[in-house]
Amino acid sequence: MSILGTRVIRTEDPRLLTAGGIYVDDLREPELDGAARATFVRSTVAHALITGIDTSAALEQPGVIAVLTAADMTDLPPPPPAGEFDPDAPAVEGPLPLGGVWSEPLLAVDRVRFVGEPVAIVLTDSTYQGEDAAELVSVDYEQLPAVPSIEAALAAGSLLFPDAGTNVCQKGGQDTSDESIFDGCEVVVEGDIVNQRVACLPMEGRSTAAAFSGGKLTVWASTQNAQLSRLILTAIGLPPDAIRVVAPDVGGGFGAKIGVDRESIIVAWAAKHTGRPVRWVETRNENLLAMTQGRAQELHIKIGGSRDGHIKAYRLNVLQDTGAYARMSGFLPSLTVLMAPGVYDIPAVQADYKVVVTDGTPIAAYRGAGRPEAAATIERAVDWFAAEAGLDPARVRKLNFIKPGQFPFVTKTGAPYDSGEYEAALDKVLAKAGYEELRAEQRRRREAGAARQLGIGLASYVEVTAGDAGAGETCKIDVHSDGTATVYTGSSAHGQGHHTAFAMLVQAELGIPMDKVEVIHGDTDLIPDGVGTYASRSLQLGGSAVQKAALEVKDEAARQAAALFEAAEADVVLDADTGLWQVRGDPDKSLTWAQVASEAEGGTLMANVRFTQAMPTFPFGSQLSLVEVDTETGKVTLLRHVTCDDAGPVLNPVLMEGQRHGGIAQGAAQALCEEVLYDADGNPLTSTLADYGAITAAELPSFELVTSETPTHLNPLGVKGIGEAGTIGATPAVQNAVIDAVSHLGVRHIDMPLTPERVWTAIQSAGLRRHVREASAK
Amino acid sequence: MKVELTVNGKDITADVEDRTLLVHFLRDVADLTATNIGCETTSCGACTVLLDGESVKSCTVLAAQADGRSVTTLEGLASDAGEMHPVQKAFHEEHGLQCGYCTPGMVMAIVSLLRENPSPTEEQVRAGLEGNICRCTGYHNIVKAALSAASGVNP
């Protein structure tokens, strides 16, 4: 029986549980002996010209090796020329920074654009010395008016990039001016919602160590992809083959560790510049100031349809705050536009986006990256529409779902959905949750005027995974003469369980037991070509690559076995349960992998492949959230969260459930408590974990997961990505639940996060509105 | 200043700066790197260790405050024969960890929690872990691991 689909506990764990992982700060490689500690001097103001930097006092401190600023970076290649700026140019594909006039420097040159921007780097013998010395670097700022919000950016009273002449750095999507799409709609709802800025917050922040010796730079980075990091690090003026990047254990990424940031490039440069190895491990304060953050959209919605619940038209205008630097340009909102209509067959859809720069921390991918915003928006809109039409939100969803017979289905925004069973997923969730009983209990509490009201929130979602399916993923498998196998994957693990999953695939195809399969990732000397982990791509691309390599190794082994058996190749078979090679019809003779591999050239059977996929995949599901809202205090308690998340056949339920759990918690966190805040001068208000409301175990229930497995035809495993789905579904389900709990009090919408203060205020204002209405009616 | 600590049963004496935090003593002097730093503000619990058997966040305890006392870190939990502690075992069996960064602190916090309350309810476990942040697991399997360890642990 195949091991695939069974509950296998992780092979990664014993080491992590007894000795702890080896993260960048734990590395004791000889190359890092005597490594200097790097401490960054960061901008304390949101927007200013730098008029002077005095490092003399810092240089006199004990243990200080160097204090370096942009003026010291004379050994770097010059930045490319600025070029022309066209805000209407199509979005840059993939996670690339917007260059030209919008270019981001390494260390700040003559201007800072957000609090936390690196201005200088201090190298010391020890961490404490670095903190002391960095305090003494004196930077003179000539403050400029801050651009702390999308509104301020659009007002253009202050420009972050004067050469651009605007704060709008990109526009895209469709023409959204055609009002006639709402002609004939009996029910039309229009409004604004905010998808707030949140911190990615991996438990290990960013960290990089670098050593330069004999013309070769070695960089250990906490990254989701060593190979992309190597490409980015060529910015210090070395060719890729003079750089080795190693990803040791990585303490979470969530999108914010795709590649490496400017700080890592500076650390690598400092190691080359000074000849001394350098290690940088950021503090949580730095992490909350300067690691890229997520979401940060303001959206305008208009939705219309018939009184009986059929949605006819949907319009979405996205305003993306990209922070001080357009690291991902229009990429994130272009995904929001692509996924705008969600799971619904809507005859007319228009969506566009505009990206602005602000004095905020740069925005980049965060678990979902553009798709959670789309799902949160359409799912709010559908609830608005259902409420206005006086219909049950579950019924309206079912009326408008794309039906199973319509796949493959191309949406009006151009998304090619591969497969889906949207109504079945919702039905499973409703049944598991006991939807009708919950509604009955809700009615009972409403009629009783209970202080604690019940809210039931639904979200049906679809998302896009492996967006860059064509880039694929690499895998090399060696089967050695001792019968063990080594898998070199271009994918990159930081908690997902790649090593367990990929070893399972090898065992399933080759019959080599998992404990004889070693999986290696994240070292560009061993794996120069690889793409890495983001966009929920690892199993569908990386896993399919492992399977493809295994099948090629098997073919090669069959040839060797046939020669050893002196049999025809067609008669040689592998028993995948025992890992023994045999000749059909002759059960007495068999060969082990060790025997077959020993006959291969060099004693190793080898396959080196790249798996590419024709198109992205579109996992989907439904989630139901049950909350209790104390109407006297505004406090929300998440009571239950039931989900059906379908990403095709499940390779290992243990891992899949883990991804869903984590995703749900992060999605619920955005709905309930997390938000990065700035004051009117662009000063961050949430720069420690004492201020930023990261969700804890005490605010969450155990989750109730329902299984559904609809395969895709796009890869041989039939799988789609599951890393981000939980988050995408959970945010709107929880938000809809909270608003549902107080909708009978006249509340139509509350923006996230749904803190007690916001919920209480919404209830009070709705009460006041009702009061005024009743008074004026008299 | 000179401090003497017993770490995982081993005596360690060192001259350290007065301001040295316990977590830096453990990582840099004792060279025990399982204990991680997650926030420096006593908010996330990644650095949780046992000080004389009780959980503390070692990022806000001075090494000087631990002078003459006994510290247990994740590395000191398994038996001498290498058998995992029931909480470690439960984390493995219940998939209570993903990236592993919060894990040492989380495991130590649960060891301490179960010493105080050997048979907690789910609600008590959740309340007890309020000071430990995990970003990967949604806490679901961590709570499950704590409850499963509790059911197997002798009071």
Could you tell me the domains of chain B?
Answer: 2-73 (3.10.20.30), 86-152 (1.10.150.120)
pLDDT of residue B5: 97
- Reply yes or no on whether the pLDDT at B146 is more than 80: yes
Tell whether A652 lies on the interface with B, counting CB pairs under 8 A. Answer: no
pLDDT at A186: 98
Rounded CA gap, A340 and A381, in Å?
Answer: 11
Q: Show the low-confidence residues of chain A (pLDDT under 50).
A: 94-95
Contact criterion met (CB < 8 Å) for B44 and A22: no
Residue B74: closest C-alpha in chain A? A18
Q: In this structure, are strands B2-7 and B70-72 parallel, antiparallel, or unpaired?
A: parallel
Order of strands across the sheet with B48-51?
B10-15, B2-7, B70-72, B48-51, B54-57
In this complex, the residue of B74, B98, B129 whose CB is nearest that of residue A697 is: B129
Whether residue A540 is contained in a domain is answered as: yes
Q: Please check whether residues A428 and A537 belong to one and the same domain.
A: no
Task: Round the CA-based radius of gyration of chain B to a whole number and report it.
Answer: 15
Residue B154, pLDDT score: 40
Instruction: Please report, as a single letter, which amino acid is at residue A460.
Output: S
Contact A20 B75 (CB under 8 A): yes
Instruction: Flag whether the ipTM exceeds 0.85.
Output: yes
Determine the pLDDT at residue A167: 96
How far CA A486 is from CA of A106, A158, A374, A480, A516, in Å, comes to 38, 56, 41, 8, 8
A450 and A372, same structural domain?
no
Is residue A238, in this structure, part of any structural domain at all? no
Same domain as A432, residue A476: no
**Total residues found in chain A within this entry:** 778
- Do A101 and A62 lie in a common domain? yes
What pLDDT is stored for residue A149 in this prediction?
Answer: 97
Selecting from A17, A654, A661 the residue whose C-beta is nearest the C-beta of B138 gives A661
**Which of A128, A203, A496 is facing B101, going by the closest CB pair?**
A203
How many structural domains are present in chain A?
3
For an interface test with B, give the residue of A9, A17, A492 to mutate (most B CBs within 10 A): A17
Query: Same structural domain for residues A720 and A631?
Result: yes
Query: Which residues form the domain of A309?
Result: 34-205+282-400
Distance between CA atoms of residues A245 and B55, nearest Å: 37
Domain boundary among A611, A639, A671: A611
Distances (CA, A) of B63 to A20, A162, A394, A616, B76: 21, 51, 58, 53, 18
Pair A475, A603 in one domain: yes
- Nearest Cα neighbor of A343 from A271, A456, A240, A419 is A419
Residues A767 and A746 sit within 8 Å (Cβ to Cβ): yes
Tokens read off for A514: 């998992």
Structural domain includes residue A267 = no
| Residue A81 neighbours by CB under 8 Å, 6+ apart | none
CATH number at residue A724: 3.30.365.10
Residues A318 and A430 grouped into a single domain: no
Distant-in-sequence, close-in-space partners of A103: CB < 8 Å, separation ≥ 6 = A79, A80, A82, A97
Task: Answer yes or no: are the C-beta atoms of A267 and A280 closer than 8 Å.
Answer: yes
Instruction: Specify whether A41 is located in the same domain as A75.
Output: yes
Using pLDDT thresholds of 50, 70 and 90, give the confidence band for residue B155.
Answer: very low
**Strand spans (E) along A375-470:** 409-410, 416-417, 452-462
Evaluated on CA atoms A233, A235, A241, A243, the torsion sign reads negative
* A636-646 sheet: strands from edge to edge: A452-462, A620-630, A636-646, A704-706
Predicted confidence at residue A696, as pLDDT, reads 97
Residue A230 counted as domain residue:
no
Cβ neighbours around A157 below 10 Å, total: 10
Flag whether A255 is in a domain: no
* SS (HEC) of A420-431: CCHHHHHHHHHH
pLDDT digits (tens, 9 = 90+) for A198-257: 999 999 999 999 999 999 999 999 999 999 999 999 999 999 999 999 999 999 999 999
HSE-up (13 A, CA, CB side) for residue A225: 26
CB atoms within 10 A of CB A778: 4
Test mutation, B126, B137, B140, chain A, max A CBs within 10 A? B140
Separation between Cα atoms, residue A391 and residue A384, nearest integer Å: 10
SS3 assignment, position B29: helix
Chain B nearest-CA residue for A14:
B92
Identify the pLDDT of residue A97.
65
Does A704 contact B at CB distance below 8 Å?
no
Same domain for A483 and A394, yes or no, is no
Q: What's the N-to-C CA distance of chain A in angstroms? A: 76
> What pLDDT, on a 0 to 100 scale, did the predictor assign at position A90?
61
How far apart are the C-alpha atoms of A680 and A196, rounded to whole Å? 16
CA distance A687 to A683: 10
pLDDT in tens, A136-188: 999 999 999 999 999 999 999 999 999 999 999 999 999 999 999 999 999 99
Q: Which pLDDT score, from 0 to 100, does residue A77 have? A: 80
E strands present in chain B: 2-7, 10-15, 48-51, 54-57, 70-72
Identify whether residues A730 and A777 lie together within a single domain: yes
Same domain, yes or no: A518 and A632: no
Same domain? For A551 and A671 the reply is: no
Q: Phi and psi for A153 in degrees, rounded to 5?
A: -65, -45
Which of A611, A640, A668 lies at the terminal end of a domain, its last residue? A611
- Facing A697 at nearest CB: one of B19, B88, B142: B142
Q: Is residue A515 part of a domain?
A: yes
Instruction: Name residues 103-132 of chain B within 8 A of A (Cβ).
Output: 103-104, 107, 122, 125-127, 129-132
pTM of the predicted model, to two decimals? Answer: 0.96
**Residue A408 in domain:** no
Smallest CA–CA distance from B77 into chain A, residue: A18
In this prediction, residue A95 carries a pLDDT of 47
Whether residue A691 is contained in a domain is answered as yes
Query: Would you say how long chain B is, in residues?
Result: 155
> Which residue on chain A is closest to B24 by alpha carbon?
A127
